[in-house]
Structure 1
Amino acid sequence: MVLSGAVTSEATPTSADQPASTAASQATSASPVVNSQATSQAVASQQPVQSAVSAATPSVQPVDSAVAAQPAVSVAPSVDSSVNASTTPSVDSSTPVVTPDAADQVIDSDNNNVDNQQGKVQTVDKIHFDQILKDKYQIDVNHLDAKSALMLASLFHIFANEAQLSADVNGNIAVGILNSNVDFGTRGDSVHLTQGDIYYIQQLNTGLQSGSFRNELFNHVVFGQDVNVEIVNGQVHVNGHHMVNLKPEEVFKDAAGSNYIDFPTVFSRLLKASNFYASQEESAGVIKNFDDQNNRFVDVSNAVPKDNVIYVNIPFEYLTHPQPIKIFGLSSKVH
């Protein structure tokens, strides 16, 4: 199984002595979810033994893609996760990612601060065409979608068809339907603090808490067509609630007839990739111990990669527990 919060496609801890970890938070989510910090039904969760992946050197993605590989720059560091993969073996896919031409990008470039003050909300097409992410925030979505084991989900702390947030969520989200009575967004001085948060909320069943979207560096927020977003006197209001942390230039809506993220397609690809990972034998040389619930660990220092990938089989029961699983042996200095 592939589980992750916000995970970059290529970043790893800076030394072999610095563990990566995966932990469950108090947030919960309905529907299939790719998220290590929310108690949820995860991708391919029906499988009792799952495969976590750790890439040693660049290879190819498990889902075919027409996206050319290039250095990825992401807002999301490698955080609490049982997975940290830059690349994975090739698996056929009926839904390849296609890099858009510049002429196909649909972003309302005529908007400016005056428009925002007067209530004009910008629109944006699919996330693959979102030139703002690349030009302003140096995030190459197409590269991540082609090379990360978690594809688009690697950009988000919670990635779900539907999410019920009832406890503080210290991260960003992409959801088809959001039910939330709490604040959310990355904050604080954690070593895992991202450089900024990207959000996609297609539908809202409840009013948002005014303190949401709390990353102080930047927020890039896209709402679905049915969400009422207004700019009143330079302030952002969502379904009638003033969002104190959002600036008008940070807020967008789906372009007519388009969804920023096609959740059914992404989950179909993730399930196919997850089944592929789960079918692989554990790599030779992997050391793991789950006896002490407060000191569970996996050590891949001496693991032997298969096609430049290290596979670790972890019983699903341990992935659902709130205690962390530390992963030793990941280092940017070694392959």
Structure 2
Amino acid sequence: MIDTTSVKKFLLIVSGIFGELSSLIFLFFIKYRTHNLQLSDVNLLYTGNFLNLILGGLIILSLVLNLFRLKKLKLVELQVYLNSLFLSILLLLVLAILLSKDFYVLSMFKSDEYEFEKIVSVLVWIIYFIIKSFSLNYLLFKIISVKHALIPKNFILIAIYFGLIIIIAFIQIIVTTKTGDEFKLKKDEKFDAIVVLGAAVWKGNVPSPVYEGRLNKALYLFKEKFSDKIIVTGSNAPFELSEAEVGKIYLESKGINPEKIELEKKTTSTIEQIHFIKRTLMKERKFKKIIVVSDGFHLPRVIEIAKFLSLDIRVSRSNLKTELINNLWYRIRESVLITIFWLFAV
């Protein structure tokens, strides 16, 4: 006689497997559509995509392993998992709506609504990651028969997952800074432009030490004839002039011909600035080689964003000197931001 309960459990697990596969495809679609890319542009070996695959793959593997313990598995346990799967797909639908405006491609302006939606989208992504991690832990707990303090153990494991990815990002920053090919410039190389990423501007339209360090490095590269054009970027200065305008004034005060300096005054973030390089400089103006100038702790994230967008750039770090504690803080902050970009492309 057919055990209808076991058949029902089997069908629910198979449904879960197909649901996870669909969820993974939908995840990649949203990550890439946000940046005006297609599913055909997905590189599964990109670090962030590989991490997404590992999480989704482990959930599917846990479901397959649960097929061999149907008699021990309760229907209510499968329903708990399927509810979490449904909720994660619902969150992806919310993200698809939130990100349908192509934040980093079409919304190249500063507005309270834009900033609010970006913050909300990041929070929704984090909730999505927590739910997917919860699903994985829940299924694993059933396999190894963990019965007590499931919720505390679940959240501890989720924190460990996120912490491990941040550690990987921290190591990536160090390795990329030391050995990355993007940092290697030959003395006789010529580039179409030196692009300076904007940074904070202080009261009185004075570049902050971080921004001044970037501008000084661009000045050095210009004088060493790596390029005859400097493009300064950034809009969101809290005072009268944009970051780009303050950068231009500073470079002019150092003797650079104003005709050799271009302004980009709309971008408000690193992601937008890399999109500007790809869309405006590479595609529209047909530039072939670009040097991006920023700080040593910031450039690994710049490189990761460029890789995601299939953009080939070279980078040059500023000579900014920071105290050990500040340098550590900057690297930890960038590790968190790289982790968020890896997982969610925001």
Q: TM-score, normalised by structure 1?
A: 0.26
Whose radius of gyration is greater, 1 or 2?
Answer: 2
Q: Highest relative contact order (Cα 8 Å, sep 6+), 1 or 2?
A: 1
- Structure with greater strand percent: 1
